[in-house]
């Protein structure tokens, strides 16, 4: 029997529904447990390894919407799927706009339930969303490159032109997109993100455009897509360079005509959204190689904004490090923890090839692995040069770079899982990767 692809907590005050949902997930190869109240769910989330929550929208005391808000605040890396009756579909859509990953209608179809939960578990959010930091976090900086980014965002926010955010991984492109939305006239509407690289082509298409009942196996009812959910707001297409040619054609039409059809449908729906996209790839080279449509590139590249790498603005490291330290320490229940001056100086001297995301994850690791009231130079040096001890089974004669890489990767996975006490969501955060990447790596090393 294959290993479970994740751990799901079912929350429903109706024992019959809760046990049935948990049972169906278990039968489908998904580890699951059931609790009857939001309070019990929050308690289990704080003490156990949970990768996703499936919650009823209507519950006494604390309902599904309130639970969604609490999970978003306390465990932002744990997605929430809503179960709702047909009569409350508008409320479920509102929940998705508030951050729910998806919803399933009662009476639910077994295949649709499994399809939805598997999609959410495999399409994990990127690691940069792991810490509950303010939108402005990655835009902090006194350097001229960041001042220019802020000025360009302000100018772009005045209209509805498509914005293409470019730069290396970890430079804060998503947070720049959120800042664009917050400064625009559409800030009263939803900000909806689509992680293009996390979903295969068929799922990406249904995620973007939604589908009609019967469009495919498991489509028991009509579901709105992300374009529809973003109505009146901003749709952010992250990692647009990873979209396959077949989906590029449909994206071109969406951007060009501001219209689309749901999967399995014939009705043309207007797209009242502002588009923002991001990529770390060289789209010009991809166009030359025939990997990315030239017409789509020009539709996206109306207002290009380049996010500078952290190494080009070392003077901003101190501001970012102190900001991350304050926010992460507060979220971890240690609000007094601060970086000492010598520690900050050492952080400013480091090249940070993973940019702002790497710095954020490093500061989080410092806080997780430290006990004192402050983070010292010794703490920083220890983590910068931390090496896994050589195990007795390590092949002494194999000096190949690939062997060393695999050994170090396995050690890092084992250490992260140990420190996270088996909580894969937390382990992914410590490693600075998405849950989906973590599952892939665990399978590669036979640790799943």
The share of the chain scoring above pLDDT 70, in percent, equals 85
Q: What is the pLDDT at residue 448?
A: 60
Instruction: Please give the average per-residue pLDDT across 175-183, as a whole number.
Output: 92
Q: What is the pLDDT at residue 132?
A: 39
Q: What is the pLDDT at residue 428?
A: 76
Poorest-confidence range of 94-108, 131-145, 433-447? 131-145
268 strand-pairing partners: 261
Q: What is the pLDDT at residue 442?
A: 76
Q: What is the pLDDT at residue 185?
A: 93
Domains 7-124 and 144-307 share a fold: yes
Looking at domain 144-307, which of 3.90.1150.10, 3.30.2010.10, 3.40.50.300, 3.40.190.10 is its CATH number? 3.40.50.300
Q: What is the pLDDT at residue 446?
A: 67
At 93-105, the pLDDT tens digits run: 777 777 888 888 7
CATH 1.20.1070 is held by the domain 401-444: no
Poorest-confidence range of 40-49, 316-325, 369-378? 40-49
At 203-256, the pLDDT tens digits run: 788 888 887 877 666 666 677 888 988 889 999 999 999 998 889 999 999 999
At 110-120, the pLDDT tens digits run: 877 888 888 88
Q: Which residue has the higher pLDDT, 429 or 176?
A: 176
Average pLDDT for the chain: 83
CATH 1.10.8.60 is held by the domain 311-384: yes
pLDDT bin (cut points 50, 70, 90) of residue 387 is low
The domain limits of the chain are: 7-124, 144-307, 311-384, 401-444
The share of the chain scoring above pLDDT 90, in percent, equals 39
Q: What is the pLDDT at residue 400?
A: 59
At 248-295, the pLDDT tens digits run: 999 999 999 999 888 888 788 899 999 999 999 999 999 999 999 999
pLDDT bin (cut points 50, 70, 90) of residue 4 is low
Q: Which CATH class is domain 7-124?
A: alpha beta
pLDDT bin (cut points 50, 70, 90) of residue 141 is confident
């Amino acid at each position: 029997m294959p290993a479970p692809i994740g751990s799901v907590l079912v929350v429903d005050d109706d024992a019959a529904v809760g046990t049935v949902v948990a049972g169906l997930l278990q039968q489908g190869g998904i580890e699951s447990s059931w609790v009857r109240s939001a309070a019990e769910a929050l308690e289990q989330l704080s003490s156990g390894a949970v990768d996703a929550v499936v919650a009823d929208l209507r519950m006494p005391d604390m309902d599904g919407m309130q639970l969604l808000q609490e999970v978003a605040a306390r465990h932002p890396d744990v997605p929430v799927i809503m179960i709702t009756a047909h009569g409350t579909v508008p409320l479920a859509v509102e929940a998705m706009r508030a951050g729910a990953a998806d919803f399933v209608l009662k009476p639910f179809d077994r295949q649709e339930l499994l399809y939805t939960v598997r999609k959410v578990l495999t399409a994990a959010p990127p690691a940069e969303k792991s810490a509950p930091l303010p939108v402005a976090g990655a835009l902090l900086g006194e350097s001229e490159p960041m001042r220019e980014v802020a000025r360009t965002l302000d100018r772009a926010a005045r209209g509805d032109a498509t914005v293409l955010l470019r730069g290396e991984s970890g430079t804060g492109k998503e947070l720049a997109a959120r800042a664009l939305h917050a400064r625009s006239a559409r800030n009263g509407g939803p900000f909806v993100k689509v992680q293009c690289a996390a979903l295969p082509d068929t799922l990406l298409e249904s995620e973007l455009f939604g589908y009609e009942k019967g469009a495919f196996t498991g489509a028991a009812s009509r579901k709105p897509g992300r374009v529809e959910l973003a109505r009146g707001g901003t749709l952010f297409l992250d990692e647009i360079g990873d979209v396959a040619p077949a989906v590029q054609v449909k994206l071109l039409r969406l951007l060009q005509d501001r219209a689309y059809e749901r999967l399995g449908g014939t009705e043309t729906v207007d797209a009242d959204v502002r588009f923002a996209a991001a990529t770390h790839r060289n789209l010009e080279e991809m166009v030359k190689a025939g990997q990315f449509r030239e017409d789509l590139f020009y539709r996206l590249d109306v207002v290009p904004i380049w996010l500078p790498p952290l190494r080009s603005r070392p003077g901003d490291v101190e501001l970012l490090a102190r900001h991350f330290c304050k926010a992460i320490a507060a979220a971890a229940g240690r609000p007094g923890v601060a970086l000492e001056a010598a520690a900050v100086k050492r952080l400013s001297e480091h090249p940070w090839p993973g940019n702002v995301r790497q710095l954020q994850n490093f500061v989080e690791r410092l806080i997780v692995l430290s006990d004192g009231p402050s983070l010292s130079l010794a703490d920083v040096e220890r983590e910068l040069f931390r090496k896994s001890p050589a195990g007795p089974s390590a092949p002494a004669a194999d000096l190949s770079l690939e062997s060393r890489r695999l050994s170090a990767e396995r050690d890092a996975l084992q250490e992260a899982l140990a420190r996270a006490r088996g909580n894969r969501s937390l382990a992914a955060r410590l490693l600075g990767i998405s849950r989906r990447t973590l599952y892939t790596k665990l399978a590669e090393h036979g640790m799943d």
